[in-house]
């Protein structure tokens, strides 16, 4: 069977950088705590835990006051709380996410009402919202935004087509709109390539955590073109999927380690 393997699949620069920083911190301090999983991949998180990188969901669970901020960034109130309480902080916020946070701050200073486009429960989006304070909200198709001046900042892993749709919806109610296209190049390249492969292959395998938003989006995108399967590891593969097909495309989300891709 012919296999089309994506060149852009797998762990992105921001997640790789955060893991490297966390491993260095764990080596120095023996243990470092991450507020939420460092990477949206269950198997990788289990592996990191063995190396001293412990996932917690609340500051109170941090036992040694050593914390890593993951690539998604964090709400500024949480950062302040950590600083005010004497935590040692390794800030692994992806520079591209940090840039999006700065755009939100700039828009607020310039008097725009900020609309963040992305998944409302995603940590990056919650963090961006924090930088906008009371003058920002997360876009919802069910709520009309009626403001004179709005600034738009998308989540870094948003699909460009979705950004275009939302911008044209918002346009009908505003006088002025300023858009920062903060969609990450890694996301764009990965999505475009996955679609290109899905068009020519008979089926698609998308590797990544079931809790990874960008992997799920890749899967949804691919299944518009061909039968597609979202797997976390090689154990999830069912050989019946490949009966009567001649080719399969393989891609992976931004939080899927290389070893998991190789194994599949």
Q: Summarize as ranges the residues that interact with ligand SF4 (CB under 6 A).
A: 12-15, 71, 94, 96-97, 156-157, 184, 186-187, 254
Give the active site residues: 124
CB of 230 to ligand SF4, least distance (A): 18
CB of 17 to ligand SF4, least distance (A): 8
In terms of Cα–Cα distance, which of 37, 33, 44 is closest to 10?
A: 44
CB of 84 to ligand SF4, least distance (A): 27
Secondary structure (H, E, C), 211-247:
CCHHHHHHHHHHCCCCCEEEECCHHHCCHHHHCCCCE
6 by DSSP, 3-state: which?
coil
Among residues 94 and 108, whose Cβ is nearest to ligand SF4?
Answer: 94
Cα separation, 193 vs 211, in Å, equals 22
Q: Which residues pair with 34 in a beta bridge?
A: 55, 68
For residue 76, the tally of other CB atoms under 10 A from its CB is 14
DSSP assignment of 148-214 equals SEEEEEE-TT--HHHHHHHHHHHHTT-SEEEE-----HHHHHHHHHHHHHHHHSSEEEEES-TT-HH
Among residues 113 and 157, whose Cβ is nearest to ligand SF4?
Answer: 157
**Residue closest to ligand SF4, measured at CB:** 14
CB of 179 to ligand SF4, least distance (A): 17
Q: What backbone phi and psi angles, to 5 degrees, belong to 32?
A: -140, 145
> In the chain, what is the greatest distance between 2 CA atoms, to the nearest angstrom?
62
CB of 218 to ligand SF4, least distance (A): 12
Among residues 186 and 231, whose Cβ is nearest to ligand SF4?
Answer: 186
Among residues 71 and 251, whose Cβ is nearest to ligand SF4?
Answer: 71
Among residues 170 and 254, whose Cβ is nearest to ligand SF4?
Answer: 254
């Amino acid at each position: 069977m012919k296999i089309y393997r994506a060149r852009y699949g797998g762990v992105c620069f921001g997640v790789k950088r955060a893991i490297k920083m966390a491993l260095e911190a764990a080596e120095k301090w023996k243990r470092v705590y991450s507020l939420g999983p460092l990477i949206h991949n269950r198997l990788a998180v289990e592996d990191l835990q063995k190396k001293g990188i412990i996932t917690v969901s609340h500051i109170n669970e941090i036992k040694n006051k050593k914390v890593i901020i993951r690539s998604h960034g964090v709400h500024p109130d949480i950062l302040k709380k950590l600083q005010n309480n004497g935590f040692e902080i390794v800030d692994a916020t992806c520079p591209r996410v940090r840039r999006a946070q700065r755009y939100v701050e700039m828009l607020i200073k310039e008097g725009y009402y900020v609309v963040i486009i992305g998944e409302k429960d995603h940590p990056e989006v919650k963090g961006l919202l924090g930088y906008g304070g009371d003058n920002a909200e997360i876009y919802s198709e069910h709520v009309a935004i009626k403001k004179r001046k709005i600034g738009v900042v998308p989540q870094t892993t948003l699909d460009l087509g979705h950004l275009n749709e939302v911008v044209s919806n918002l346009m009908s109610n505003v006088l002025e709109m300023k858009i920062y296209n903060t969609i990450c190049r890694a996301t764009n390249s990965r999505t475009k390539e996955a679609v290109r492969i899905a068009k020519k292959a008979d089926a698609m395998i998308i590797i990544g955590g079931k809790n990874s938003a960008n992997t799920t989006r890749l899967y949804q995108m691919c299944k518009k073109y061909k039968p597609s399967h979202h797997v976390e590891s090689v154990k999830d593969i069912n050989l019946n999927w490949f009966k009567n097909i001649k080719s399969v495309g393989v891609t992976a989300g931004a939080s899927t380690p290389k070893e998991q891709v190789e194994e599949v």
